[in-house]
Structure formats: structure tokens, C-alpha cells
Structure 1
Amino acid sequence: MTEPHIAFLGLGAMGFAMSTHLVRSGFRVTGFDIWQPTLDRWQQTCTEISKQSGSGAEPKFQATTSCSEAVKSGANIVILMVATHYQANSALFESGAVNDLPKDIPVVIMATVPPMYPLEVRKRLTEEYNRPDIIVVDAPVSGGVARSQNGTLTVMASSDDPANLEHSLVKTCISALSSNGKTLFPIPGTLGAGTSAKALNQVQCGIHIVGASEIMTLAALAGLNTKTFFDTVQQPQSSSTDGLSKEKFRYGWTWMLTNRAPRMIDPSLPIASAISIINKDVGIIVDEETRLKVELPLLNTANAQLKQCMDSGIAGWDDAYITKFYLDPTLKDETRMNTVISQASSSTSTVQDVEQVTETVLQAHALINLVSAYETVQFAGALDLMGEKQRDMWFRLIAGAAGGSTVFEEVVPVAFGEATWTDGFKKWTSSKLGSAWDLSKVEKLVEEVKRKNPEFKPVLVEGAIKFAKELSQ
């Protein structure tokens, strides 16, 4: 098999971690980024990796100052991991790199882009540049920087020819980033199917990132010790029996809360994902709502919160710090903005109240997770991803990826087991509100916290309460 030589275009947080993992794994990588300091840091990191290997062999990496240089460096596969599809166009077409692409080279789009974009790339290559030989693969990822660093990303791959996913260079490179292929999901359909599946995951992620901040803020303002509350969320309730996860967590658990909460309560931890990134991803879905004529109310509410954060000038903040916006939308009262942090070392609840308040806050989060699951399935229908094989694939990948939640993992199979999926959601919701969840206690707690803290706007919880009432009627 020909050894992969990767032209890796885009060395932002995710691209940097992915490309250096490939270098660490022994791949030959030529890296490019438009920002010279990032390129310099990448070169230095790769040099350190090479020294640590101690092999004494010739380094298998190089940095280049243009996309054309990257693809002319001897590369036999291109990976695009830029921030937006506009940047992808710039890297591939506007830079002129397309004219230097070797014959039959695979171009793997791993960035988060609109679902129609991979097909647009295919069309431009064929019709505008007369390059039908170039293989285009749509392979967006989920899992964040940490999983990029160790090559355990969830990858959702599709192409206009299924055989492209079996191309030796494509398969080798993608597998190296997806747990040796264990977290690689080939999505049935043509180009764009992978990105559509990623969009479903991002419905969950977009709501859950904002939701995690709202719920940690609610916990803090309700007087709970935020670290203890987070530790409670992390306690597994039982072992999973369906193979989707190793443990079953209590209602109110999401992957995003697990990932973001440590940074909410400990400001010394490094930034991992800026607000601008999830704002961009959610914006893609909002644009798709218009194109597909579908409405996702809670996702739109989360989007409005993100827009307000962007407009407040905190686009570069870690998205875990959305708690600060919830606590003080003016972003002027530092003490108040740090309430989630300060409440990690104190508690104002009485001992006998802690367990009940904790459970009520968790139920509030579970209601948000219920609506996010509902809107995900609704969006899947609009994207025409409701074939049995397709829905099984995207359900399993979301359950094990950054969009995962206990509620999603439990309610969606019930929904698919009924005559209509909406009937399934109604059945499941009615059973929970009649036993495990007390909606009146959630409403009472939210109203009490709002009365004491008028600036706090728990818009996702309130929207979820309204939805649950309507669904259970």
C-alpha cells in the first residue's frame, strides 16, 4: 500500500490536534494554516514529537505557507479542517491549489460545513475545473480537542461512491483519527450524508452546550455546591445493556455537561472551544431550517443566546463561560459572574434540601434534553435521514458522541418503536411526568430562583417545560 502523505489544510484547535496526532502516529504530514504564529507553533510541536520518538529517522512533517505548496509537496491525500466552508473554498479553489492537485487524489472534507457543500465541491471540480478524477469524501468529526489529540474522534463519512470510503489512503487516514475505525460511521447516501448526520449531532450539541450553562447557573443560584452537583451528575446509575455506552447515567446527564462543567467551576483550566465555534455550527442548522422549511424552537432559543454572547463581545471566550452571561448579561459584575465558580466551594442549601433540589435541577436539565432529542429526530426527517439503516447509524453515533445524553439514548428507540415517532415521544414523556419527574417542582424552583435573581433568564428550561406540557396532553 502506498504510504499516506497528507496535505493538512487548517490548523485551528481541532486541526492542530488531529494533524499532530497523525504525525505522532508516524504519518507524513504537510501542514498549512493562514495564521503564521499557528504554523510556527505546529512546526515546533511536530519537532518535539520527532525528538520524543528517538528514532533518528528523517522527520515526516513540514509546514508550508500556501495551500498550493502543501498539495505540491508530494501529498497523495488532502484533509480540509478549516473553520468554515468559505475558508474551504478559499483553501481549495481561490488559492489555486485545485490546479496543483495530483490526478485521482482524495480530498477529505472533515470541517463542519453546510450539508449541501460537499456536493457543491464535487460539481465545481467536475464542471468548472474538469477534474472528475478527484475523489471527494465528506467526513465531519465530533469529539473535541481531547479526542482529536488521541485519535478517538467520531467520524461520519459519506461519498458519491461508497467505494471511495474503502480507498486505502482514505481508510487509513480516517481510521487513524477514529479509534482505528471503531468510531467511524459510514453514512448511507451520497455526498453530504455525513455532514447531515453531523448536523443532527450539532442540534444536540448546540442545545446542550447552552443548556449545560443554564443548568449549572440554576444549580448555583438555587444554592447548590456546583462541584457536588456536577459529581452527582457523573454518578452512573447502572450498566448499559445496549452497548451504546459503558454506563447508564441518571436523567440530566449529557456529554456536554461532563465536558464543559469542569471549566465552568475551575477557571484555571485552558480554553477548549470558543463560543464562536458553536455559534457557527448552530448557524448552519438555522440556515438549513430555512432551506428545509422546518422549525426547531429550542435550538433557535439556544441560537439567540449564542448571538447575544457574540454581540456582547465575548465570541472568543470558552463556551463553558456562557454561565457568566446567564449570571450577568451586562458582563460588568465580576463577583456575580463568578457565582458558579464560588459555589464550587460552598453551599447555601440546608442539608435536608440538597438531595431534593439536586434532583429537581437534574429534571429541569432532562426536560431540555428531551426537547433536543425531539428536535433532532424532527430535523432528521427534514434531511431525509429516516431510513431504517440511516436512523440506526446516526442514533448510535450521536449516543456515543458529543451530542449524547441519557434521555436521547432512552427515548429515541421508544419513539422508533411506535407507529409514528411523535407517538413514541408522547408515550415516553407521559410515563416520566407521571412517575420519575415532577414538573410542578421544576416550575416552582425556576420561579423561586427568578424571583430572587431577576436578571437570570432560564429560557431553555422554560421552553422545555412548555413543550413537555404540550407533549403529555
Structure 2
Amino acid sequence: MTGAGDTGRIGFVGLGIMGGPMAAHLVRAGHRVTGYDLERAAVDRLIAAGGEGAADIAAAARDADVVITMVPADPQVERVMFGAGGVLETVAPGTLVIDMSSIKPGTSIAVAEAGAERGLRVLDAPVSGGEAGAIEAVLSIMVGGTEQDFAAALPLFEALGRTIVHVGPHGAGQTVKAANQLIVAGNIQLVAEALLFLERAGVDTGAGLKVLAGGLAGSAVLDRKGRVMRDRDFAPGFRIDLHHKDMGIVTESAREFDLVLPLAGLTAQLVASLRAQGGGGLDHSGLLLGLERLNGGPREGGSVATGPEDSVSKQGDN
């Protein structure tokens, strides 16, 4: 497993909103990819892209040189890694295991330690960029583990992303991802507040957001989410449910570090509030909907599209 066109096999577990496009990019880069997902349609999409399908986790991981996992949260990672027929009991010593899910740093460390006992090489490599970043292969990838294992995985990462950084030992990738999710959620909330502020003032929001994007207020969040928030299009690219999980990681870690992070706590509450109101299946740009409700609901003529709640793929990421 040294680069594009290599004959080594990749087992890929988790072919949802993020994992599906990522696995397809690896196929296009010349790798043999065998994928598994709880939803058969996701496996069929990988097969249509030139990959191979597996009936279960063990079938995807068996005889693989590299196993990549991309699932929603800690319970799924623990089941995929430690469960009967899971990755750690299936793969051979020397296999490179890369978890690209967004989970607690402690879980990543536990997986790495268990893997080391079995002679495996393990990296935590969560990503940022959302569904669009996965489709366009421009993800940011923050990697925890050894330098040697990072170097071995780099050709694979280069097929998936644009900004790829080894950030430290096992668990460090997840710590950086938690910081990323804090910034993203806070930024979305502020964009929502700015947008509602402009609307209630009667300003042309298209013009307003355009000029904001060209100044110091500009951000990837404003570029990617500004229009969909104006249109009230909250179809999920990255679900509130998942960002709620990520904000829990931030607040739990802050307590462990004896840190006071006031805006993190407030943002986590706003995310949790929208989720409690039934918005867990919305895109995280739906924080605008929660803000409107705090301000008496949308004004007449401002219809809100909530998007699908339960029909989305199992995994999205930011």
C-alpha cells in the first residue's frame, strides 16, 4: 500500500453521506476497495462505482491491507472495532486500521492500545468539510498516531482531502476535530443571528451576505451555509444529531481539562435545544430555525423547509 494503482486491498466500513464518496474516490485512485454498510443501497452504490461489496464487517476487513472505518459515533466505533466479527479480531497483524469517525479522544486511544496488543497499526483521522468536501475530495484530515503510520496512510488521504496534517499521538486527531466542531457550530449560530438581524432590518440579505463574505467576517461556513440558510433549506449534509454528539465531546473534554469555555457551553445548549424540538435530522444550518423560534417564529411569508428527518444516510460529517 504505497500509492495509487497499488494492488493492496482496502476494507471500508461505513458508506453513508461521507463514507460513500470517500470510498468511491479510493476506487478511482486505483485501489481495490471492499465496503460494508448497514444499508444495502450504500453498498450497491460502491459496487456501481467499481468497488466490491461485503455482507458484514468481517468480510470487508478480512485479508485487507488497510481498514478504514467511517461511522457516526463512539458506540458504533466500539461495535465495529471490538464486537464479535469486528475489525480487531478479524484483521492480521501489521494491518493499518484508520478510524475516520468523529469520536471521543479516549475511545481512539483505547482502539489504538487494543490494536497495538494485536500487532496492528492504528490511526485516528477525523475529517472536516462536510458532504460537499467528501464529494469534491477536498476534506481536511487531522491525524493522530505515529509518524511512520501517517506516512504509510498519506497516499490514501491524498485521494480524499486537500489539507492533511499529522497533529500528534493517538487521540490528537479527535481533539483537533472537537475544536473544529466548536468553531463550526459557533460560526453557524453567528451566521444565523447575522442573517436574521439583516432580515428583520429589511436589508437585501443576498447583498448583505456577499459583502460580509468579502471581509473579515468571511468564512467557509458563510460561503457554504449562507445561501441554504437564506432559502431555509435544512436538508442534512451534517445532522444536528451528530453535531450534538460532537458538542458533548467538547464540553466533556473541557471539564476534564478544567477549562471554562462559555461560548462552547451556550452553543452546545442551542444545538441541544433544536434537537429536543425534533430537529435532530436537520442540517446543522437549522440552528437558524431554533433562533427564529426564540424570536417568535418566522415572519409571515417566510416558510421554513425542514428537510427529511429519518430517511437520511447513517453518517455525515463536518
Whether TM exceeds 0.5 here: the answer is: yes
Kindly tell me: are residues 340 and 114 of structure 1, through their superposed partners in 2, closer, same or farther at Cα, counting changes over 3 Å? same
Amino acid at match of 1:81: M
Amino acid at match of 1:296: L
Q: CA deviation at 1:171?
A: 2.1
Q: Is the 8 A contact 1:275 1:318 kept in 2?
A: yes
RCO greater where, 1 or 2, for CA within 8 Å and sep 6 or more? 2
**1:429-454 residue CA offsets vs partner (Å, 9 max, x unmatched):** xxxxxxxxxxxxxxxxxxxxxxxxxx
> Match for residue 186 of structure 1?
166
1:292 matched to 2:292? The reply is: no
> For the residues of structure 2 that align with 1:315 and 1:214, how far apart are their CA atoms?
20
> For the residues of structure 1 that align with 2:43 and 2:137, how far apart are their CA atoms?
17
Kindly tell me: are residues 11 and 312 of structure 1, through their superposed partners in 2, closer, same or farther at Cα, counting changes over 3 Å? same
Q: Is the 8 A contact 1:217 1:340 kept in 2?
A: no
2:127 aligned to which of 127, 141, 144: 141
Q: What TM-score do the two structures reach when normalised by structure 1?
A: 0.59
> Match for residue 158 of structure 2?
175
Q: CA deviation at 1:3?
A: 2.5
Q: How does 1:244-255 map to 2 (within 5 A)?
A: 250-255=215-220
> For the residues of structure 1 that align with 2:234 and 2:259, how far apart are their CA atoms?
38
Q: CA deviation at 1:309?
A: 0.3
Q: Is the 8 A contact 2:19 2:70 kept in 1?
A: yes
> For the residues of structure 2 that align with 1:279 and 1:268, how far apart are their CA atoms?
19
Amino acid at match of 1:171: L
Kindly tell me: are residues 336 and 291 of structure 1, through their superposed partners in 2, closer, same or farther at Cα, counting changes over 3 Å? farther
Amino acid at match of 2:35: G
Q: CA deviation at 1:336?
A: 4.9
Q: CA deviation at 1:233?
A: 1.9
> Match for residue 71 of structure 2?
82
Amino acid at match of 1:174: F
Q: What TM-score do the two structures reach when normalised by structure 2?
A: 0.87
Question: Equivalent pairs: percent with the same residue?
Answer: 25
Kindly tell me: are residues 27 and 337 of structure 1, through their superposed partners in 2, closer, same or farther at Cα, counting changes over 3 Å? farther
Three-state SS of the structure 1 residue aligned to 2:248 is: helix
> For the residues of structure 1 that align with 2:139 and 2:7, how far apart are their CA atoms?
22
Q: Is the 8 A contact 1:226 1:340 kept in 2?
A: no
> For the residues of structure 2 that align with 1:142 and 1:285, how far apart are their CA atoms?
16
> For the residues of structure 1 that align with 2:270 and 2:255, how far apart are their CA atoms?
19
Three-state SS of the structure 2 residue aligned to 1:107 is: strand
Kindly tell me: are residues 284 and 268 of structure 1, through their superposed partners in 2, closer, same or farther at Cα, counting changes over 3 Å? closer
Kindly tell me: are residues 217 and 92 of structure 1, through their superposed partners in 2, closer, same or farther at Cα, counting changes over 3 Å? same
Amino acid at match of 1:186: H
> Match for residue 222 of structure 2?
257
CA RMSD of aligned residues (A): 2.4
Three-state SS of the structure 2 residue aligned to 1:13 is: coil
Q: CA deviation at 1:77?
A: 0.4
Amino acid at match of 1:151: A
Ranges in structure 1 where 5+ consecutive residues have no aligned partner: 50-58, 236-249, 342-401, 403-473
Return the index of the structure with the highest Cα Rg. Answer: 1
Amino acid at match of 2:191: A
1:314 matched to 2:279? The reply is: yes
Q: CA deviation at 1:200?
A: 2.0
Ranges in structure 2 where 5+ consecutive residues have no aligned partner: 306-317
Amino acid at match of 1:299: A
Amino acid at match of 2:91: L
1:155 matched to 2:159? The reply is: no
Kindly tell me: are residues 279 and 164 of structure 1, through their superposed partners in 2, closer, same or farther at Cα, counting changes over 3 Å? same
